[in-house]
Amino acid sequence: QLHLQESGPGLVKPSETLSLTCSVSGGSISSGGYYWDWVRQAPGKGLEWIGNIDYSGQTQYNPSLKSRATISMDTSKSQFSLRLTSVTAADTSIFYCARHGGPGAGIPRAFDFWGRGTMVAVS
Amino acid sequence: QSALTQPPSASGSPGQSVTISCTGTSSDVGGYDYVSWYQQHPGKAPKLMIFEVTKRPSGVPDRFSGSKSGNTASLTVSGLQADDEADYFCSSYAGIELPYVFGTGTTVTVL
C-alpha cells in the first residue's frame, strides 16, 4: 500500500520561502504513468491544485501561483518537494501531497493516494 | 477556472440515501469523463471513492456510486452508515492550462 507523508516547518514568515517534502513509501516514484502532486486548502476554503511532477521530471503548475511554485523530485530518497516563494498570509493552508494517475491503461485518472496533510501558517 | 460547486451540507438517517451534486462547466465536468470523489474524515488523508465518474476503486463498498449529467456530477451514498459521516469533495480534469479543479466540499451528517 502506498504511503505519502508531508514534512516541513509549520510556520513561515511573510516574504520568505515555504519548503515542504513528501516522502513516499510502499511504491516507486520513478515508475511511469503517475504524477506526484501538491494540493492545498486554506482555512474555510476548498482545495486548490498547486502543481505536479512526473517520473521524468516534467512539471505543471497552477497559473494562479504566478511562477512562485517549484516542484522537484529526488528519486534516490523517494521524495518530491515543493518550494513556494514570497509567501503571504493568503498562503496559510494545509498542504497535501498526492499521487494522480496519468494516461495509461488501467491507471485511475484520479488522486488515488494522499498524505494526511501538514498545516503551514504564514505569520 | 473556478471551483466546482457543491452543497455545503447533506444529511440522512442510517439506512437512507444521500446524493451530493458537483456542478462545473463544459470546460471541466461536462467536457471530460474524469470526475472523481473523495471522502475525508477529520484529521485523516482524503480517500478516493469514485473515479472516472462511475468507477469504484477496490475496497470501496458498492453503496457508493457516481453519475454525471451535463455539467453536473453526483455521488450517491446508499444505506447510510455512521462511518459515512465525513467531508466529501469532487474533482474534475479541466484541460491543459489548469488540469485539476476541486469542488467546494460537502459535509455529510448521519442523523
Identify whether the C-beta of residue A54 lies closer than 8 Å to the C-beta of residue A103.
Answer: no
- Strand B47-50 and strand A3-7: pairing? unpaired
pLDDT for B43: 87
Q: In this model, does residue B31 exceed pLDDT 70?
A: yes
What are the pLDDT tens digits along chain A (123 aa)?
899 999 999 999 999 999 999 999 999 898 888 999 999 999 988 899 999 999 889 999 999 997 999 999 999 999 999 999 999 999 999 999 999 998 876 788 999 999 999 999 999
How many CB atoms within 10 Å of residue A6? Answer: 22
- A109 closest CB neighbour out of B51, B89, B97: B51
At residue A50, the 3 state secondary structure works out as: strand
Interchain CB contact of A5 with B (< 8 Å): no
Residue A26 at interface with chain B, using a CB cutoff of 8 Å: no
Confidence tier at B58 by pLDDT (50, 70, 90): very high
Q: What percent of chain B has pLDDT over 90?
A: 89
CB atoms inside a 10 Å sphere around CB A107? 15
- In contact, A54 and A39? CB cutoff 8 Å: no
Task: Please indicate whether, in this complex, the C-beta atoms of B91 and A117 are within 8 angstroms of each other.
Answer: no
Chain B residues whose beta carbon lies within 8 Å of the beta carbon of residue A111: 36, 38, 46, 48, 91
Q: Which three cell numbers stand for residue B18?
A: 444521500
Helices (H) and strands (E) in chain A, counts: 0, 11
Size of interface A-B (CB pairs under 8 A): 65
For B1, counting Cβ atoms within 10 Å of its Cβ (0-12 exposed, 13-18 middle, 19+ buried), the class is: middle
Residue of B nearest to A65 (CA): B98
**Residue B1 binned pLDDT confidence (cut-offs 50, 70, 90):** low
